[in-house]
Chains A and B, each alone.
Chain A
């Protein structure tokens, strides 16, 4: 696996120290190279990388709104096709809110229509740009500013929406999950997605120091803990074939992942046991 030295996301962007979204884009662009156009949903990523008159993007980049990265990318892809520039990678980035919630219609349409695009959801499991509000991708038990823990609440009371399977149900040629803490696995998947003729979707788990409550230097460690405990699974679905791309040799108890984050610190043994059971079932289903 090649790790090109060239940086296509310039340093000096305004992300938090330890920002996982910046790591996500940096790695993705290393895999994609310069012959790429990016469509970006509103969110942390656009705000931190594009304050006029500056930009952190070394590749052509467009932002329009929160909920339409799929549709904007559709238009870009067809316009490039009309100009005979079919070799250009068209990639959309959306956060979990912009993807699983407000942007799911536009994304679903883009996938169903078969555009030759790669959509990467950088999932930090809440609306981080607006200050840590609950999204459809917020996991069970997480305390957010709109699903706070309190006397009558243990935080978010619904499990995370399974976007990878929702995308797979569209029958598209390539779907994968990934983590920024497994760069080689992620970049391989990005390359595969870009080389796929037709739509590809990557759901990227991306720890957020500010929203999850851990020290900036622990971003990669948290992503690893999610995978090592089975709270997040790495797989791909290529032309309908499901394959786990990484299996922890021995799964760690999920409490190690939960207790490392402020958002889960209020959980009692009862909920931790529930989450462990949920993770065990999920791993069994996925074959992890």
Chain B
């Protein structure tokens, strides 16, 4: 099929349509809303045969999504920022109940101050909920990743929900060419969902979401860790199969000019495009820099990262989020799990542009470090 021009939100909605979820509970929030609107129109036009539930909050969106998933059907929902915060409690329940939900999160800053623009604090704040988190760089990755997310979530040795994270506005509202797939092509990759384990059926009554005392709770949580570890392999397998079938391969990470790089810039999401551009420019000047894009933030592929960064001297980690007193979450994870001299940079908060100059500054401050964590572009006098 020829490429079409569309936003990442549109690409996500097109992928959801092709994945054929049977229940879609959604609640509007900027900048996710157009995903919900496209899906509503698909249902209204008969292009998507799904029960579309216009819930009264994101808390109910994820609750109804979980209820539907446990009743044995494929589901989808989408949210952003404050909405994801409101879902917080149920995100843990969804993962603990091992529901193969796929959800798009349009990454947006969290209030206060109220701000509708992009950073990644919202999904980072959910990192311990037990969801697989995949970050996409562009509209094509958004489309492809939604389809892969169902395969990963529904894999019988995984059975964990997947959050597909798209940078708000930068991706959600920016048009790009996207190579869409035909339904027949997608059907060879993603079969209809058939629940194998726990589901609600009067023919086979079982209790879901039970109370567990100290005798059982630890094991239930440990099972999730086992599944999360297993998902690394599954994410790679599914990404490789997608590549074989459709020519676009995916893994846990993507590296660019890392083999001989002295400094590797590490980041997630749309920022990778800017970093790649800066890497090219610095390479032209003879500087040995590379890019490591983390696609899978949870599970965190530190062994793969260790391998990719083994020849580098230093890591410069770019985070659109922060933890008080620590620095960015990706920085903290790399510092804890990888064995490199690592510097952290906070940038792009609340929609402030990530400009090439900030990336260049990060490289300079990694070469000649002043402190471990630096806020780039900070206006000290305001």
Q: Is B210 an interface residue (CB 8 A)?
A: yes
Set B59, B71, B202, B207: member contacting A75, Cβ < 8 A: B71
| A108-B210 contact in complex given A62-B200, A78-B64, A79-B72, C-beta closer than 8 Å | no
Residues 68-95 of chain B, each 1 if its beta carbon lies under 8 Å from chain A, else 0: 1111110100000000000001100100
Set B55, B213, B220: member contacting A71, Cβ < 8 A: B55
| A59-B202 contact in complex given A65-B90, A75-B67, C-beta closer than 8 Å | yes
Q: Is B201 an interface residue (CB 8 A)?
A: yes
Minimum C-beta distance from A147 to chain B (A): 26
Please tell me if the beta carbons of B202 and A79 are within 8 angstroms of each other in the complex. no
Please tell me if the beta carbons of B63 and A75 are within 8 angstroms of each other in the complex. yes
Please tell me if the beta carbons of B50 and A82 are within 8 angstroms of each other in the complex. yes
Q: Is A73 an interface residue (CB 8 A)?
A: yes
Of all chain B residues, the one with the shortest Cβ separation from A106 is B60
Residues 73-99 of chain A, each 1 if its beta carbon lies under 8 Å from chain B, else 0: 111101111110000100000000000
Set B60, B73, B89, B208: member contacting A109, Cβ < 8 A: B60
| A36-B202 contact in complex given A53-B216, A71-B60, C-beta closer than 8 Å | yes
Q: Is B113 an interface residue (CB 8 A)?
A: no
| Interface window among A17-25, A44-52, A213-221 | A44-52
**Chain B residues near A34 (CB, 8 Å)?**
202, 205
**Chain A residues near B206 (CB, 8 Å)?**
55, 60-61
**Chain A residues near B70 (CB, 8 Å)?**
62, 76
CA distance A105 to B70 in the complex (A): 22
Interface size class, chain A: 35 or more
Minimum C-beta distance from A118 to chain B (A): 15
Chain B at the A interface: mostly helix, strand, loop or mixed?
Answer: mixed
Set A72, A105, A108: member contacting B67, Cβ < 8 A: A72
Interface size class, chain B: 35 or more
Please tell me if the beta carbons of A68 and B90 are within 8 angstroms of each other in the complex. yes
**Chain A residues near B55 (CB, 8 Å)?**
71, 74, 109, 113
**Chain A residues near B153 (CB, 8 Å)?**
none
**Chain A residues near B54 (CB, 8 Å)?**
113
Set A51, A76, A105, A106: member contacting B71, Cβ < 8 A: A76
Highest count of chain B CB atoms <10 Å: which of A50, A74, A79 = A79
Q: A211-248: which residues lie under 8 A (CB-CB) from chain B?
A: none
Q: Is B324 an interface residue (CB 8 A)?
A: no
**Chain A residues near B75 (CB, 8 Å)?**
75, 79
**Chain B residues near A109 (CB, 8 Å)?**
55-57, 60
The 3 closest A-B pairs by CB, nearest first: A75-B67, A109-B56, A75-B64
| A/B interface sample: 10 pairs, CB < 8 A | A52-B211, A62-B207, A63-B207, A76-B200, A78-B23, A79-B23, A82-B22, A109-B55, A112-B56, A113-B54
Interface residues of A (CB under 8 A from B): 34-37, 39, 46-47, 50-53, 55, 57-65, 67-68, 70-76, 78-83, 88, 105-106, 108-110, 112-113
Interface residues of B (CB under 8 A from A): 22-23, 25, 50-51, 53-57, 59-61, 63-73, 75, 89-90, 93, 97, 200-202, 204-213, 216, 220
